[in-house]
Structure 1
Amino acid sequence: MTGTVHSQIQPYIDAWTHSIESIAELVRPVPAGAWNRPTECPYWSVRDVVSHVIGFECELLGDPRPIHTLPSDLRHMATEHARYVEVPVDKRRHHTAPEVVGELDYTIIRRSRQLRNETRGAQDTVRGPMGRETTLEELLKWRVFDVWVHEQDLRRALGEPGNLDSPGAVVARDHILAELPKVVAERAGAPAGSAVVFDVHGELEFMRTVRVDTEGHGSIDGSVSLGPAVTLTLDWETFVRLTCGRTRAAAVEDRLKTEGDRSLADAILANIAVTQ
């Protein structure tokens, strides 16, 4: 996609386009019975994940929020955010597969046109989900992350692996890495002066070190750490599944190597999900 004058946001627009069009291609031939297949996204089926993607893009198009009352028996509606996200999903639960695919295709056309005609700058303030203010660049980064992660949910559920090294994957990687200092230093309580290494191999390969300073604040960099407190070695897809709350460490032990302080490693792995 071309046309925007903002080179700073074009890579995110391109990555979003690649992932959301991949979702459309993926679900178009899916038989009606498979739309209710569960995904690793907690509580959501294939239909629910696609409905979620449609719902958020419609919101960013300025469409009014659906007027819809959630059933009282949905177990996972514990927070305001969860209820907010569930409304456009639950509203579409009785839509047929052709209806959902048609709405997705039409939403992609509308949203692509909106992005092509975008006149705001990367650092301009915009309204994000739940009315929160953010910058246009941060909003687009978040949409790439969200759409790519849900593309992977759908691929795993449908047995159609792919795009683990796509432009969306790179944006998702950077989004996840930016959250790791908080995971290690704050949630897992890694001691001051310690370092934790994430050694990831596979479609996207990287090694990052999270360092905790004397004040207990975390930072992340690509330099090698001598004598880290913990080293976690795993493949890229498992890293994504863990950090996005799609699985737990105990379920992927065979794909995960842990060295160093076992209790700290367990604390990190118990708190590693960066998604809400």
Structure 2
Amino acid sequence: MTVHSKIQPYIDAWTHSIESINELVAPLVEGEWNRPTECPYWSVRDVVSHVIGYECEMLGDPRPIHTLPSDLRHITSEFARYIEVPVDTRRHHTAPEMTSELEYTIIRRSRQLRNESRGPEQSMRGPMGQEMTLEHLLWMRTFDVWVHEQDLRRALGTPGNLASPAAVYARDFLLRGLPKMIAKDAGAQPGSAVVFDIHGPLEFMRTVRIDQEGRGTIDSAVSLGPAVTFSTDWETFLRLVCGRVRPAAVADRVKVEGDQGLANAILAHIALTP
């Protein structure tokens, strides 16, 4: 049993989401594994392969020794290469091979997490050898699994879990990136504020404020006279911030009020995930 109560909610949210993925893909026939998803260049099989690969790495399994094909256009960085290797190694796996490996990986990883006795501040080795706390690593895995659950749901036409416990953790994970993006990348002026008014299954309002030194912060307090206000639904916000869709493709779902120039700059940089 997990010793630290601070960790257990992450494990519960991760469990709910990865088991939902298992239920989604278990009945798929061979051809359905090739359906494209909004995750750029990845099919249903590729998304599930990515989830399996990352969880196997968390289990301490050795990374596969594999040379990627030279014609993969989306491999433009070492990080992209790093996450593509476990995906490409499974591109020819059959549906039964995929479902059995996913199920077995969930069993192994769930057992590992049930026996987790380290504290939330324990330093851990994350992706590409990056050092982070155990709490942050679990938060990141919960975020990643839930976002890919949603990729699969959209690809398969089975919406759901948009307000699940993992969805809340994913929201908070994404919101942390807005202040830097708006202050630095989009160039919002000191003293300005940008409001995101999100409705739907997960409703929230957040204000990004730029201080006089040009640093951004985020809070839930109402802002009077913001420079820009974005109003949209939670799923559209998610798709934009995760780079699943271009702003022009969902312009009819995003209401913008205020400084159009700043709004355009924010939308040009809104995709926060690699």
- 1:103-157 deviation per Cα after TM superposition (whole angstroms, max 9, x unaligned): 0000000000000011110000000001111000000000000000000000000
Whole-angstrom distance in 2 between the partners of 1:136 and 1:82: 23
- Matched with 1:122 is 120
Find the counterpart in structure 1 of residue 237 from structure 2: 239
Match of 2:33 among 27, 31, 35: 35
How far the C-alpha of 1:258 sits from its partner, in A, is 0.2
- Candidates 16, 26, 46, aligned match of 1:18: 16
Paired with 2:176 and 2:66, the residues of 1 have a C-alpha distance of 35
Which of 168, 183, 186 is 1:185 aligned to? 183
CA distance in 2, matches of 1:89, 1:108: 17
Deviation at 1:250, TM superposition (A): 0.4
Question: Are the aligned partners of 2:37 and 2:44 in contact in 1 as well (CA < 8 Å)?
Answer: yes
1:182 Cα deviation from its structure 2 partner: 1.1
Q: Which of 251, 257, 260 lines up with 1:259 in the alignment?
A: 257
Q: What is the TM-score with the length of structure 2 in the denominator?
A: 0.99
Residue 154 of structure 1 corresponds to: 152
Identity of aligned residues (%): 74
Alpha-carbon distance between aligned partners in 2 of 1:18 and 1:187, rounded to the nearest angstrom: 35
| Aligned partner of residue 206 in structure 2, secondary structure | strand
- Per the alignment, residue 205 of structure 1 pairs with 203
Matched, 1:87 2:88: no
* Partner SS, residue 259 of structure 1: strand
Alignment partner, residue 170 of structure 2: 172
- Aligned-partner residue type, residue 78 of structure 2: E
- Matched letter for residue 198 of structure 1: F
Gaps of 5+ in 2: none
1:224-269 deviations in whole A, cap 9, x for unaligned?
1010000000000000000000001100011100000001001101
Structure 1 segments of 4 or more deviating over 6 A? none
Matched residues in 2 for 1:53 and 1:107: separation? 10
| Counterpart selection for 1:270 from 264, 268, 271 | 268
Q: Tell me by how many angstroms 1:186 deviates.
A: 1.1
Q: Is residue 3–residue 118 contact of structure 2 (8 Å, CA) maintained in 1?
A: no
Return the offset for 1:31.
Answer: 1.4
After TM superposition, give the deviation of residue 30 of structure 1 in Å: 1.0
TM-score by length of 1: 0.99
Cα distance in structure 2, aligned partners of 1:93 and 1:167: 31
Deviations 1:67-87 (A, max 9, x none): 000000000110000000000
Q: Deviations over 1:43-69 (max 9, x none)?
A: 000000000000000000000000000
Q: Distance in 1 between matches of 2:33 and 2:80?
A: 22
* Structure-2 residue corresponding to 1:5: 3
The residue type equivalent to 1:256 in the other structure is: V
Query: Which amino acid in structure 1 is aligned with residue 271 of structure 2?
Result: A
Q: Partner residue of 1:131?
A: 129
SS at match of 2:177: helix
Distance in 2 of aligned mates of 1:155 and 1:31: 16
Letter in 2 for 1:273: A
RMSD: 0.5
What amino acid maps onto 1:130 in structure 2?
Answer: M
- Give the match for residue 61 of structure 2: 63
Give deviations 1:194-240, integer Å, cap 9, x for gaps.
Answer: 00000000000000000000000000001110100000000000000
Find the aligned partners of 2:67 and 2:139 in 1 and give their Cα distance.
30
Equivalent-residue separation in structure 2 for 1:30 and 1:6 (angstroms):
38
Pairwise CA distance, 1:20: 0.2
1:141 aligns with 139
Distance in 2 of aligned mates of 1:169 and 1:183: 21
